[in-house]
Amino acid sequence: MLDIIAALNDVNMSEQSKAAAALMIFYPEYEEITDHETALKEIMRFLNCGEDENAGRNALKLIDWEQDFQLIVAPINRIMCGEIRGFEYLHWWTFLSAFYEIGDCALAQIVDIRRKRQRGKKLEKWDKEYYRQNRELVDFKKRLTDGEAEIVNEILNGA
């Protein structure tokens, strides 16, 4: 499921390519699917634990599954009593259930700072200090298309 999320967030892929990638990853018999739109809706429903795509979702982006992965794994390992990357199979909904139980950890602090900053709330003294020391963890990384990255590299290299 994290591979599907990564494909859906890939700035270098067209919407059609993102959809095709999600279908190919999720459905082993991709070639047999005739109703792609319904199949994609079911993928999104599965990602959301059976809920409609936007049901009860907060509009704020507080997690980036790729960027935050290392911060997510350790507390989930603690909850699941094992190294989840070593599990032969782990149902997505089980993973999310463990994720929702993470509790107090570095990720929780980062998400709290993100939430406060996005809502324009004042950061406490310790939040400000943590943010100053861990800005690269708190701030979402800007994803550039290959073309944008090429332009930036040209500018930086004086071309």
- Report the predicted TM-score, pTM, of the whole model to 2 decimal places: 0.74
* Cα 9 to Cα 17: distance, rounded to the nearest angstrom: 11
Where do the structural domains in the chain lie, given as residue ranges? 1-57, 59-159
The answer to whether the CB of 89 falls within 8 A of the CB of 137 is no
Helix (H) or strand (E) holding 108: helix 106-118
Using one digit for the tens of pLDDT, what is the confidence trace for 66-116?
A: 999 999 999 999 999 999 999 999 999 999 999 999 999 999 999 999 999
- What integer pLDDT is reported at residue 143 of this predicted model? 79
What 8-state DSSP symbol labels residue 121? Answer: P
* % of the chain beyond a pLDDT of 70: 94
Q: Phi, psi (5° rounding) for residue 108?
A: -60, -40
* Cα 10 to Cα 24: distance, rounded to the nearest angstrom: 15
- What integer pLDDT is reported at residue 96 of this predicted model? 93
- What integer pLDDT is reported at residue 42 of this predicted model? 94
